[in-house]
Structure 1
Amino acid sequence: MEKQILTEESPKKLQYFPINLFASVMGISGLAIAYERYEQVFKLSNGTGFLLLIAAYLVCILVTITYFLKIAKHFPAVVKEFNHPVKANFFPAFSISLLLLSVGTINYQEKLAFYLWIVGATVHFLLTIIIISRWITQKYLIMQINPAWFIPVVGNIIIPIAGINFVNIEICWFFFSIGIFFWIILFALIFYRIVFHDPMQKPLFPTLFIFIAPPSVAFMAYTKIIGHIDSFSRILLYIAMFFVILLLSMARYFVKLDFAVTWWAYTFPLSAVTIASITAFEMLKVPLFGWVATGLLILTTLVVVTVLLKTLYAFFRNQICVPE
């Protein structure tokens, strides 16, 4: 009887497998890169970054295979998800995951990193074109916009971080420019929606942490391209730091939230600002950035572990992969 129930429930679970679980790959990959950079800059050799990178690969493989099974067996559900005004923005999380794995892999296996980068950059650019075209040609309500809208277009800023090792610098500037331009536009729209309209639904509240990611990633990409820290890179870094302070000051609102898959939105932005802090310490040699980087790395580790455990607990209690 139990076997029959499991057999009947599995296809249903697959049908409702959420695309935003790719954010888990982003979070774990980001933490792996943060540890790799921390170990490199502070001359440590505990191998935590490498172990986390392996974990990120395993999660990426698991989530990708599961979602491709969903495409094969429940294609109408995938189409519905891709046409959803909020969920559609998580499809580029797949390509961003490949780009982040490329960044994490480049010091170990450059050829594999290149293949991950070329596939990730190509898929992400195609998704950027598709989603922006949809924004132009379809009608959306202001209530449908939220920080997850950053993912498709601002994700282009990630492309130059590894891309600078593989392609002409002008291609890196191309993707960086796209990301920066749409970050400014979308930030104005999203902030307007948050301030002047009804509050977002509670499951979407964790996406506010995505505000940290664009300036953090832009700082990393920009310093990679130009090779040093200048006035503009400082502006990007301190905008990211401001959002960290702002959102941590609102912690009492976040700790009251019930768990949802969107909690993974906490993870990558915190990883990104941690990496940015490590880079700032490396380039500026200001001790304060070293302490900030250490504190953020501890915080990000705790957040990723907590969200991972919450996700596993919710999955085994059949609270994930269910109809909304």
Structure 2
Amino acid sequence: MGKQSGGPPLIPASFFGIVLGLAGLSNAWRAAHSTWGMPAVIAEGLFVIAAATWLLIVILYALKWAWAPAAAVQEAEHPVQCCFIGLAGVSTLLIAQGALVHSRPLAVALFILGAGFTLFYALWRTGLLWQGGRAPGTSTPVLYLPMVAGGFVSGTVAASLGWKEWGQLAFGAGFFTWLAVESVLLLRLYTAEPMPPALRPTLGIQLAPPAVGAVSYLTVGNGTPDLVVHLLIGYGLLQAMLLIRLSRWIAEQPFGPGYWAFTFGATALAGAMVHLAPADAGGAIATLAPVVFLLSNVVVVGIAIGTLALIVRGRLVPPATTPHRPFLR
């Protein structure tokens, strides 16, 4: 990690993506416990790790603003790195969701904090985006993070707390923003220059909207299988297969923390399918759910091991901070 002389590590906001992967895997294991009787201790252990990681990253990121405000502002003004800041609120919402089974007052406090930051940042950032002036090459799936991820996760947690109508409003905000942003991104992918290797891991985020949207839809709705959730899961499976097809091209960028972009969508897809499996006995969802659950574990564990290896070797470095340099290492 980058570090000023005598100061704390200057971590990038993209490190909040680690929390999304860990918390997402915890949720998938909670679904597996409910559906298949898998050990609950694994889900709760993963939540403890996710919560501890979230707390550490929150502290370090806050210290970055206090210790090196110029670097923090530069990140916030970067056309790609800026959107990762929205994950500070989304990760807080996920910790609120996980904490709900242990303490409702804590979950409510974290929800208010996370949802408040998510809404503020999404409005601020989107307001800048609507003013235009972006180079087409800077449009990547990170554009989903402030409002799409924020809307879906806010909706999920609000409904989990018993505020279903508020959750439905948040789901709607995330859903229609997803459709609009997806058209922009696909136009860029189809017609612009190929993504440079440093940006290619952001394509892992492409899996998240349909997968996280399916989880949110189940939570803000009646929680039972219907055409809409099957459509979302089907599109999520298509995105997963496309990412597998592109894996060698994406892997031209050496492994780094940016690969955590793949984990939130993978774990959300697994969680939604495991949740639906009992109502689909013998059907497509029930057949595929164990496979997707296993693969999501492989993805998160593999990326976690790779990240620990980078820490041991002292190579867990932050993104470059200049506007025209790659943001991932």
Q: Same fold (TM over 0.5)?
A: yes
290-299 or 47-56, which deviates more: 290-299
Quick one: distance in 1 between partners of 2:318 and 2:227? 48
Tell me the secondary structure at the aligned position of residue 91 of structure 1. Answer: helix
Quick one: distance in 1 between partners of 2:161 and 2:262? 30
Residue in 1 that maps onto 2:107: 113
Contact residue 164 and residue 172 of structure 1 kept, 8 A: yes
Change (3 A) 1:239 1:133: same
Contact residue 15 and residue 57 of structure 2 kept, 8 A: yes
The one-letter code sitting in structure 1 at the alignment partner of 2:101 is N
Is residue 197 of structure 2 the alignment partner of residue 202 of structure 1?
yes
Shift of 1:285: 3.2
Name structure 2 gaps, 5 residues minimum.
321-329
Residue in 2 that maps onto 1:64: 58
Shift of 1:138: 4.7
Residue in 2 that maps onto 1:172: 167
Is residue 186 of structure 2 the alignment partner of residue 191 of structure 1?
yes
Is residue 262 of structure 2 the alignment partner of residue 269 of structure 1?
no
Contact residue 160 and residue 219 of structure 2 kept, 8 A: no
The partner residue of 1:292 within 288, 294, 312 is 288
189-198 or 240-249, which deviates more: 240-249
Residue in 2 that maps onto 1:237: 233
The one-letter code sitting in structure 2 at the alignment partner of 1:301 is N
List per-residue Cα deviations over 1:244-264 (Å, max 9, x = no partner).
122223333344431122111
Contact residue 220 and residue 279 of structure 1 kept, 8 A: no
Percent identity over paired residues: 23
Name structure 1 gaps, 5 residues minimum.
1-5
Shift of 1:270: 0.6
Residue in 2 that maps onto 1:79: 73
The partner residue of 1:132 within 113, 126, 134 is 126
Which TM-score applies when normalising by structure 1?
0.91
Residue in 1 that maps onto 2:274: 278
Which TM-score applies when normalising by structure 2?
0.90
Shift of 1:310: 2.0
Is residue 253 of structure 2 the alignment partner of residue 257 of structure 1?
yes
Quick one: distance in 1 between partners of 2:197 and 2:251? 12
Shift of 1:49: 0.4
Quick one: distance in 1 between partners of 2:174 and 2:315? 35
Contact residue 267 and residue 303 of structure 1 kept, 8 A: yes
Contact residue 201 and residue 259 of structure 2 kept, 8 A: yes
Is residue 36 of structure 2 the alignment partner of residue 26 of structure 1?
no
Change (3 A) 1:230 1:297: closer
Quick one: distance in 1 between partners of 2:101 and 2:32? 14
Runs of 4+ in structure 1 over 4 Å off: 6-10
Quick one: distance in 2 between partners of 1:250 and 1:60? 30
Shift of 1:8: 6.8
Q: Which has the higher helix share?
A: 1
Contact residue 29 and residue 100 of structure 1 kept, 8 A: yes
Shift of 1:134: 0.8
The one-letter code sitting in structure 2 at the alignment partner of 1:47 is V
List per-residue Cα deviations over 1:254-279 (Å, max 9, x = no partner).
44431122111011111111111112
Change (3 A) 1:44 1:196: same
Quick one: distance in 1 between partners of 2:176 and 2:240? 22
Contact residue 3 and residue 9 of structure 2 kept, 8 A: no
Change (3 A) 1:7 1:20: closer
